[in-house]
C-alpha cells in the first residue's frame, strides 16, 4: 500500500492541531501551519464580528496559497502535513458566520462560488485526521497557549463550531476519502495523540480505514 504523502490535521480552535503538525514534522513531513496571525482581519473580527466576511476571504486566499505550496511539495516528492483544510473554512467557519447573520446571503453565495471554483484544483489528502474535544477542554487549551485575541472567545461560539464539525465529520465519512476522528480530551500529553496518528500511518491501519 502506498505511503501517505498528504495528511490534513483538522479540528476546532485550541484542539492541538499545530502541536501535532509540528510533531509530525519530526517524522519527515513538511509542515504547513494555519498561521492565523497573518490574517489582517482576525483581531478585528474577534472584537467586532461584523468583519466576518473579510476575515473568511483573507483565510481563503491564504489557504489557496498553501494548496499551491502543497502541490509543489508533492511534485517534489515531499510528504506534507497541513494544519486545517480549506474545506473547514467553508463548511465550518463561513457557514457558522452565515447562520449567525454575520455574513449576508449575497456575501455567503459569493464566498461559496469562489470556494467551489477553487476546490476542484486543491490536492486531495490521503488522510484527514479530525481532532475533537469538548468545549471545556478547548477553553483550557486556549488559555494555556495565551493568544491575546483568543482569550475572549465565547463558549457558545466554540459549541457552535463543535456542532458544525460533527456534521462535517458525518459528511466526510460518507465519502471515499480516508477520514478518522481522534477524541483528544483524555490525552493531556501531545505525544499520546502523535503516537495514535503515527499508528494510523501504518499499512495495516490504512487498510482498515479504506475498507470502513
Q: What is the pLDDT of residue 146?
A: 73
Catalytic option among 37, 44, 83, 107: 83
Q: What is the pLDDT of residue 88?
A: 95
**3-state class (DSSP) for residue 139:** helix
Active site residue 107: no
**Every domain of the chain and the residues it spans:** 6-211
**Residue 15 · residue 136 · CB < 8 Å:** no
Q: What is the pLDDT of residue 48?
A: 86
- Supply angle C-alpha 54, 37, 43, rounded to 5: 55
DSSP secondary structure, 48-111, as one string: -GGGHHHHHHHHHHHHHHHHHHHHHHHHTT-EEEEES-HHHIIIIIIHHHHHTTSS-HHHHHHH
Gap between the Cα atoms of 168 and 172, Å rounded: 6
Q: Which three cell numbers stand for residue 206?
A: 490504512
pTM: 0.89
Q: Which residues have CB under 8 Å from 70's CB, separation 6+?
A: 6, 32, 80, 82, 123
Q: What is the pLDDT of residue 180?
A: 92
Q: What is the pLDDT of residue 123?
A: 93
| Options 1.10.287.1120, 3.40.50.11030, 3.40.50.300, 3.40.50.280; CATH of 6-211 | 3.40.50.300
Q: What is the pLDDT of residue 211?
A: 46
pLDDT mean by block of 10 residues, the chain; 212 residues: 85 92 94 84 85 93 91 96 94 96 97 93 93 93 80 89 96 88 80 87 60 47
Amino acid at each position: 500500500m502506498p505511503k501517505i504523502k498528504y495528511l490534513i490535521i483538522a479540528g476546532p480552535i485550541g484542539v492541538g492541531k499545530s502541536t501535532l503538525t509540528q510533531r509530525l514534522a519530526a517524522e519527515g513531513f513538511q509542515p504547513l501551519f494555519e498561521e492565523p496571525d497573518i490574517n489582517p482581519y482576525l483581531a478585528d473580527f474577534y472584537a467586532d464580528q461584523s468583519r466576518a466576511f473579510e476575515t473568511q476571504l483573507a483565510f481563503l486566499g491564504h489557504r489557496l496559497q498553501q494548496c499551491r505550496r502543497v502541490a509543489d511539495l508533492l511534485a517534489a516528492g515531499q510528504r506534507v502535513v497541513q494544519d486545517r483544510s480549506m474545506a473547514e473554512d467553508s463548511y465550518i467557519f463561513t457557514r457558522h458566520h452565515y447562520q449567525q447573520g454575520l455574513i449576508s446571503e449575497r456575501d455567503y453565495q459569493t464566498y461559496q462560488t469562489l470556494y467551489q471554483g477553487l476546490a476542484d484544483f486543491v490536492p486531495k489528502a490521503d488522510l484527514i485526521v479530525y481532532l475533537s474535544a469538548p468545549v471545556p477542554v478547548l477553553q483550557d487549551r486556549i488559555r494555556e497557549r495565551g493568544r491575546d485575541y483568543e482569550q475572549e472567545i465565547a463558549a457558545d461560539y466554540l459549541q457552535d463550531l463543535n456542532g458544525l464539525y460533527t456534521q462535517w465529520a458525518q459528511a466526510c465519512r460518507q465519502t471515499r476519502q480516508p477520514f478518522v476522528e481522534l477524541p483528544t480530551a483524555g490525552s493531556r500529553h501531545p505525544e499520546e495523540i502523535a503516537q495514535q496518528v503515527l499508528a494510523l500511518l501504518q499499512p495495516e491501519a490504512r487498510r482498515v480505514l479504506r475498507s470502513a
